[in-house]
Chains A and B, each alone.
Chain A
Amino acid sequence: MTATHPREHQALSATSPPLLQVRQLTLDYRSDERTIRATHDVSFDVLEADRFVLLGASGCGKSSLLKAVAGFLAPRSGEILLEGRPVTEPGPDRVVVFQEFDQLPPWKRVLDNVAFGLVASRQCGKEEARERAAQALATVGLSRFADAYPHQLSGGMKQRVAIARALAMRPRVLLMDEPFAALDALTRRSLQEELLRLWAELCFTLLFVTHSIEEALLVGNRILLLSPHPGRVRAELDAEGFGLASVGSPAFQAQQQRIHRLLFETA
């Protein structure tokens, strides 16, 4: 990853094609008896260093979209292109941070958990993996807990470990599936802050799923609104410039109300 500041970086890549392209994506879940449509004809582009948020009520297929980008769910029709190449299977260039705490193997100590991705994907040898893991752990402030087992950590710390593990991989896109939804409100706020700080520092590209309007405005610079059953694109909005300082400001509230209207008013 280059050391360019995020904004310059974005300006640079404005002329190049989008990093991640989702083209007319339709996703189905098939059980023995019937087919359930998760999303219908969804298209969007994620640019380098974007913090792109998928926002919608439950049942709008936002998690399914993320799973499809991760390669866990094959599209019914349409395509997903990462740097122009179609996504066909899960891979370490698209690392997912899940909502559930059991994404961390309980039999690995925190440091080994962070190194696990690097070792499993054969990106580097054991020694280098542990070094990079220690660095990643330091960026989320958990160096003291390197030798602990996951069950000894609080929920917020477990999510920090998962984020460190994902960042250590230096993926092309970091995928986050409601990563803070299982945390209490105060921990959630401090992790949102931390995520923004890490982004400013490391300038990764983020695709973030949430059902919270406030979180979407806070974390994202671009928001895709999805309507439920099946998920279709209702709007794509700008959220650049909203940060922790602007929560509750008139502009923030106005955008919040606009999203509320778009999500709940039926046309």
Chain B
Amino acid sequence: MSHVHRPEFERELPALPAPTADAPLGTARRLWQRDGIRQVVVLVVIAAAWEAAARWAGNDLLLPGFLQAAAAWWDDLRNGELLARTAASLSLLLQGYALGVALALTLSALAVATRTGRDVLVTLTSLFNPLPAIALLPLALLWFGLGQGSLVFVLVHAVLWPLALATLSGFQGVPETLRMAGRNYGLRGLRYVAHILVPSALPAVLSGLRIGWAFAWRTLIAAELFFGASSGRGGLGWYIFQSRNELMTDKVFAGLATVVLIGWLVERFVFDTVERLTVRRWGMQR
């Protein structure tokens, strides 16, 4: 059997020049890379389809076109009606949301601290989480009367359970090694919760806050369809309901669009920003 002789060798490796950046993408390609731009394109397509469908149907009472609804929206925005309605809805929402968040955090802190607390929370959540908050409205009206109290009550219910559940699972998911590292450096009690548990559970807490927000917003609009918040100063839901009664379908669409728009703005500018500055930056979430 012949044996090929392969000499060994060693090489000196000189330093390489710094790598150069790739050629930049074209403007069109770069714009398309941005999520915002792509979403806008999708929205434009939907609006065009809507307008086309409305013209084809030709019935303003059933389906006003996009342009007509946009005009109605713009009018009511300028005369301040939509703003006032939105303010009424949002102020109620914030009250209910804040109260729900406070309760949820307290409950999950108790649940993580004691075994009884956890049993209580888990049982309550499994009882109340499947119950749509709006289903409690009749009962709330009986207890708190026709006014803000009832709405805040159902809002708290909408926020509390999903958020408490998410927060608890966030606390329970804190890695054991991280817990030990914290205790190793002498963290105890509240400092331990603040420096280890809360930041580590933040991805779960944020997603709970998001879900809670969406639930609360939907519940509020649905609840307002029953009655205006208080003495004629109704919110967006009431605006939609009234407009339908007056057969101003374009205003119904304007109201719906506002509901969607606010939900989207909060998602995109509040929650996305908070996530980008925290959990994404820390590599805890993609």
Residue numbers of A with Cβ under 8 A of B are 70, 72, 90-92, 94-96, 98, 100, 102-107, 116-117, 120-122, 149-152, 169
Contacts and interface: CB of A to CB of B under 8 A. Distances in A.
B177 A106 contact: no
Given A90-B180, A98-B181, A120-B195, A107 B282 contact: yes
Contacts of A107: 199-200, 202, 278, 282, 284
Contacts of B181: 96, 98, 103-105
Nearest to B284: A106
Given A149-B281, A151-B283, A152-B283, A105 B186 contact: no
B178 A103 contact: yes
Given A90-B180, A100-B175, A120-B195, A106 B186 contact: no
Interface residues of B, number: 22
A90 B181 CA distance: 9
A92 B175 contact: no
Interface of B: 175, 177-178, 180-187, 191, 195-196, 199-200, 202, 278, 281-284
Contacts of A95: 184-185
Contacts of B187: 120
Contacts of A103: 177-178, 180-181
B139 to A, nearest CB: 40
A107 to B, nearest CB: 5
A94 to B, nearest CB: 8
B200 A105 contact: yes
A120 B177 contact: no
A96 B175 contact: no
A105 B180 contact: no
A180 B185 CA distance: 22
Nearest to B196: A105
A105 B178 contact: yes
Given A106-B284, A149-B281, A72 B183 contact: yes
